[in-house]
Amino acid sequence: MNCSITLHNMMSNDGELPTIELTTPRLRLRQWQASDYRPFAELNANTDVMAHFPAPLTAAESRQIADKCHQLIASRGWGFWAVELKTTGEFIGFVGLHTPSDALPFSPCVEIGWRLARPYWRQGFATEAAEEALRFAFTVLGLPRVVAFTPIDNHRSRAVMLRLGMRNTEENFLHPDIAADSPHAEHVLFAIEQQQWKRQHARVQLG
């Protein structure tokens, strides 16, 4: 896969750090911009996209998430990047890395996650972007381990995790931010270690 990492000097009076931009053959993972907010709100209001969350989000809730993603990328250079199609510049969702709440039973950790608009499912975009995010996690950040988690019945996300070479740890847990009696409370935990990723990557190159 022909991918690249670009460093954008976004240092400003607010002290923003250089922002990493990742590219894949079809996608660009970049900092959030104002034009992303409306399609992101539409994505988060879609019942299919949000089927494994407690409820769709309001426009205000969606904006709050986008603002947080922007702030985290500005402060450390990476995070849940906005994803756009290279051919059209169209925003299709987010993919990237995040340090989740300390309340999770396996924290501290770095997770990989994704959320794409419904028209862009079943085209391999989530896997393509997440593979590049994992490459960044292990070769640039030097992380020893990356995790991913989702409600137990979210088979679509679980399939992406498997395509990334992640393993099911069999350590299911109740998400602390979701009511315990919710059907979305129980989550599966997947993980991949740096050495495992390197072995898989080496096999792909040799193959």
- Report pTM: 0.90
Tell me: the pLDDT tens digits for 120-176?
999 999 999 999 999 999 999 999 999 999 999 999 999 999 999 999 999 999 999
Q: So what's the pLDDT on residue 107?
A: 94
Segments forming the whole domain that contains residue 193 = 4-206
Tell me: the pLDDT tens digits for 32-46?
999 999 999 999 999
- CA 54, 108, 78: angle at the middle one, nearest 5? 80
Q: Any idea what the CATH number is for the domain that residue 121 is in? A: 3.40.630.30
Element (DSSP H or E) covering residue 204:
helix 194-206
Tell me: the pLDDT tens digits for 69-81?
999 999 999 999 9
